[in-house]
Amino acid sequence: MTKDNNNAAPVLQLDTLSAEIRSVWADAKAHQVNALKGYVRVGHLLDQARQQLRSDNAYGAWFRAQDFGFTTEWARRLRQLAAHEDEVLGVVATAVATTTSLPGVNRMLEILRPEPEVFADAEYQFSMAAAKLEAYLEKHTGTRTIHIPATIEEVVTYLNQQTQDSVEGLLLRVEFMSAFSRVAFKEGRPEEASEAMAATTGFIHAAWSRFDEVYPGNLGAQLADIWNRAIERAVDGEDMEQIAEWVNHSSRLTVDAWQAVNL
C-alpha cells in the first residue's frame, strides 16, 4: 500500500529550524524565569500574611480558607524561596546568561540550602511512611487521600482521628511523625521539627505503654523517661539534629519490637 504524503508537514530548511528552536527555547526560558519570580513574590505575600496573623493556628486556618490551589507544603517552599530571594535571582541570572537550564523549585532549594547529610534520606523515609498511611486509610476508610494540616498540633489531631488506637494505628503515628520531624529539620524549620519530635515521643510512649499491657513490665515507662529528657534538651536547642536522629532511631526500634512479636 502506497503511503499518501500529500498531507505531510512541510520540510523546513535547517536555518529555519535553528531559528525556531532558538525562539521557542528563549520563550520557554522566559516563562520559567517569570514563574520563579512569581513564586518568590507569592512567598513574600504569604510571609506578610503570617506576620499579620497571631499564631500558626490562625495562619493555617486563614490559608485553608483561601483555597489558593496549592498545599501548605508548597506554601512553605515558596516562603523559603522568598527568604533566599537574592540567591534565587543569582541562580536565575546565571542560567539566563548561559545555556544552563533553570532548576525547579525543589532543586533550587537544594542548591540554596544544601541538605545536612544526616537527613539525606528524610524525604524517602517520609514518602514510605505516607505510603503506609495511605494503604491504611484505603483499608479502613476507602480513600487514600492524606491531608497534612498546617500546624503540628493539627497533624497530631489528624493522625489520632484517622488511625485507630490499635497497635497498627499507634505504629503508623510513630513512623509518620518521626519522618515528618526529619523533613522539617532538613527544610530548615527547627521549631516545627522540635514540636514534631515531642509529638513523636508521645506516640512512642503510647506504643510502649501498650507493649507493657501485653507484656507486663516497666520497659515502656523507663524509655518514656529517657525520651522526655531528650525532648527537654531539644527544646533548649542542645544538639537538636542528633537528638532528632536518636528519636527517629527509637521510633524504628519501637516498630521493630512490635514486628518481632508479630503484633
How does pLDDT run across 203-224, given as a tens digit for each residue?
877 877 776 677 665 655 666 6
Question: How far is the CA of 33 from the CAs of 24, 97, 192, 244, 263, in angstroms?
Answer: 14, 12, 31, 37, 53
**Same domain membership, residue 93 and residue 130:** no
Flag whether 9 is in a domain. no
Flag whether 1 is in a domain. no
Q: What is the pLDDT of residue 263?
A: 47
Flag whether 11 is in a domain. no
Flag whether 239 is in a domain. yes
**Same domain membership, residue 145 and residue 84:** no
Q: Which of 66, 92, 114 is the last residue of a domain?
A: 114
In 3D space, the residue among 159, 188, 167, 150 whose CA is nearest the CA of residue 46 turns out to be: 150
Tell me which of 227 and 211 has the higher pLDDT.
211
> Residues 119, 186: contact at Cβ < 8 Å?
yes
**Same domain membership, residue 77 and residue 102:** yes
Residues 6+ apart with CB under 8 A from 86: none
C-alpha cell at 73: 507544603
In 3D space, the residue among 228, 225, 231 whose CA is nearest the CA of residue 243 turns out to be: 231
pLDDT, mean over the chain: 76
Residue 115 pLDDT > 70, yes or no? no
C-alpha cell at 223: 524509655
C-alpha cell at 152: 503540628
Domain interval for residue 39? 18-114
In 3D space, the residue among 107, 168, 21 whose CA is nearest the CA of residue 176 turns out to be: 168
Burial 233-262 (b: 16+ CB within 10 A, else e): ebeeeeebbebbbbbbebbeebbebbeeee
**Same domain membership, residue 251 and residue 190:** yes
Flag whether 6 is in a domain. no
Q: What is the pLDDT of residue 41?
A: 92
**Same domain membership, residue 94 and residue 180:** no
What letter would DSSP give residue 116? P
DSSP tally for the chain: helices H, then strands E: 11, 0
Please state the φ and ψ torsions of residue 144, each to the nearest 5 degrees.
-105, 5
Domains contained in the chain, number:
2
**Same domain membership, residue 141 and residue 246:** yes
Flag whether 61 is in a domain. yes
Query: Worst-scoring range by mean pLDDT, 48-57, 118-127, 187-196?
Result: 118-127
**Same domain membership, residue 192 and residue 150:** yes
C-alpha cell at 243: 537528638
Flag whether 232 is in a domain. yes
**Same domain membership, residue 124 and residue 102:** no
**Same domain membership, residue 188 and residue 138:** yes
When pLDDT is averaged across residues 167-185 and rounded to a whole number, the result is 85
**Same domain membership, residue 155 and residue 216:** yes
Q: What is the pLDDT of residue 118?
A: 58
Q: Which of 114, 148, 171 is the last residue of a domain?
A: 114
**Same domain membership, residue 92 and residue 123:** no
Q: What is the pLDDT of residue 24?
A: 85
Q: Which of 60, 94, 114 is the last residue of a domain?
A: 114
CA–CA separation, 161 vs 172, rounded Å? 12
Flag whether 196 is in a domain. yes
Q: Where are the alpha helices (DSSP H) in 100-218?
A: 105-112, 122-141, 152-162, 167-186, 190-214
CA–CA separation, 34 vs 41, rounded Å? 10
**Same domain membership, residue 160 and residue 110:** no
Work out the pLDDT band at 45, boundaries 50, 70, 90.
Answer: very high
What letter would DSSP give residue 118? G
